[in-house]
Structure 1
Amino acid sequence: MTGQSWRLPADPPGRPLEYWLSPDLARPVPPELPSRLRELADTQGTLTAAWGAGIGAGAVFVLAGIFVAALGGGLAPLVVLGVLGATLVVLGVLGCRRVGSRLPDTTRTLIARGPGSARGGLSMLAFFGVALGAGVASVAPGQGKSMLTALIGTYVLIMLFLTACIVVPATIMGRSRETFRRKATNDTGFRALLEQDLVTWRPPVGNASYGPL
């Protein structure tokens, strides 16, 4: 808040996990202030976003293979892009499940370059969409039907790929803390991991706080 200097207090002894997960506790605290729960949620969100982008990109590769084959490119592009896309989707799904089933290692620094919210991702996508659309519009006049179809299809595929690589991870990261809270509330196995972490965690520097989220 403007004009206030925020500092998270040291953990009061005996506070249960439910206390630290409370949205009421987190609401007045600036989102940029760190805590153990926020670090866990942000790290898990970044990892899930990477795998989620892989799932989206894989689906686009499959569509690209179908599109190229429909344009008369033969079965080879369909097979190659289809296998590549399906592999990315499977690996992405398995990766998301693996990340969501355990607490992330927060000792490694993860750098996410790009927007961190759905709004930011959509804004970046709109910028690329306008720029690419202007390029397509400049070369479209005078083109034959087949070439025009190829141009429009390529534009759509590029936009879908950018959506997978920009909007999907940005949305996941933007909702990472709320997703983490919901999982900690509804998933008994994941909650047990957090309960154990609450008991064993010690602040690496000073008297940092375990929460809020």
Structure 2
Amino acid sequence: MNRMTEAGQPVYPLNYWLSPDLTKVIPPQAPSRLRQLVDAQGTLAAAWSSAISGGPVLALTGGFAPALSGNAAWVLVLGLIGAALTVVGVLSWKRVRGRLPKADRLLITRGPGSARGGTTMVAVLAGIIGAGFTTILPSAVERGTSVAVVGAYLLIVALLVACILAPSTVLGRARQSFRRRLHTAPGSAAQSNKTWSPGVTPTAMPGTGRSECQRG
């Protein structure tokens, strides 16, 4: 017999909520507290994935900037900032994926939520910006600065990929990635016997060896 929470809600094993049979009964777009938590975790991971991919873009900018300004210091400055941003992003991304967010915090994202949506947005923005660059390209060719113009455009596209496509891809795969980590992480089978209800949210991911819970 399943236990009951203080609010009178049934408490089921975590593998009940992850059961493929339950997924077949409940439509993918139907709201549930577990899905909200996983989506919130995906939103945080997506934000840090943007930092991870943005670091190399900064480093590339540092390598390109001296060609425009003649100041080699940009290589060191932007290179260090890009490396630091990538390291912080990787560490924070791993930390976010290892814990469910707090139950009393609901995160909302307004950007695209899938790789297809991110690709479409990047393509549209890149096309609009590219159309603007084509108007200055002829004069840049006459002045011998066409390489700088093309390089600047490519850096802008790379920035769009880092800030839009990368996080939208992570966000779109958040639920699939969450389920895969539960089934492949060491110790997840033992942790699947832990109980959870919409009113009690595990703050530690199954498989981490911790079973700390927080009231929602």
Cα distance between partner residues in 2 of 1:155 and 1:191: 49
1:73 paired residue among 65, 70, 83 = 70
Partner of 1:31: 28
TM-score in terms of structure 1 length: 0.80
Alpha-carbon separation, structure 1, partners of 2:160 and 2:84: 19
Per-residue CA deviations over 1:118-155 (Å, capped at 9, x if unaligned) read: 11111110110110111111111132374111111111
CA distance in 1, matches of 2:96, 2:50: 14
Give, in angstroms, the shift of residue 30 of structure 1. 2.5
- The aligned length equals 193
Going from structure 1 to structure 2, the CA distance change for 1:27 and 1:159 (only over 3 Å counts) comes to farther
Structure 1 residue ranges without an equivalent (≥5): 1-9, 205-213
Q: How far did residue 65 of structure 1 move?
A: 0.3
Structure 1 or 2: more strand by fraction: 2
Question: Given that residues 39 and 106 in structure 1 are in contact (C-alpha distance below 8 angstroms), is that contact kept between their aligned partners in structure 2?
Answer: no
**Counterpart residue number, 1:106:** 103
Q: Quick one: structure 1 residues 192 and 183, their matched pair in 2 at CA, closer, same or farther if it must change by over 3 Å?
A: same
* Candidates 147, 160, 163, aligned match of 1:162: 160
Among candidates 32, 36, 41, match of residue 38 of structure 2: 41
% identity of equivalent residues? 46
8 Å Cα contact 2:115/2:172 also seen in 1:
yes
What's the counterpart of residue 53 of structure 1? 50
Greater shift, 67-76 or 116-125, is seen at 67-76
What is the match of residue 151 of structure 1?
149
Describe the SS at the equivalent of 2:145.
helix
* Cα separation, 1, equivalents of 2:198 and 2:193: 10
More RCO (CA 8 Å, sep 6+): 1
Letter in structure 1 aligned against 2:52: I
> Are 1:21 and 2:18 an aligned pair?
yes
Superposition deviation, residue 72 in structure 1: 5.7
- State the Cα distance separating 1:68 from its structure 2 match: 1.4
TM-score normalized with structure 2 length: 0.79
1:119–1:136 distance in 2 versus 1, CA, 3 Å: same
1:6 matched residue in structure 2: none
Provide the residue aligned with 1:175 in structure 2: 173
2:166 maps to amino acid? V
SS for the counterpart of 1:124 is helix
Measured in 2, the distance between the counterparts of 1:60 and 1:186 equals 32
Q: Which residue pairs with 1:118 in the alignment? A: 115
Distance 1:119 1:188 in 2: 32
Matching of residue 139 in structure 1 with residue 136 in structure 2 = yes
Alignment root-mean-square deviation, CA: 2.6
Who is 2:92 aligned against?
Answer: 95
Q: Distance in 2 between matches of 1:192 and 1:99?
A: 22
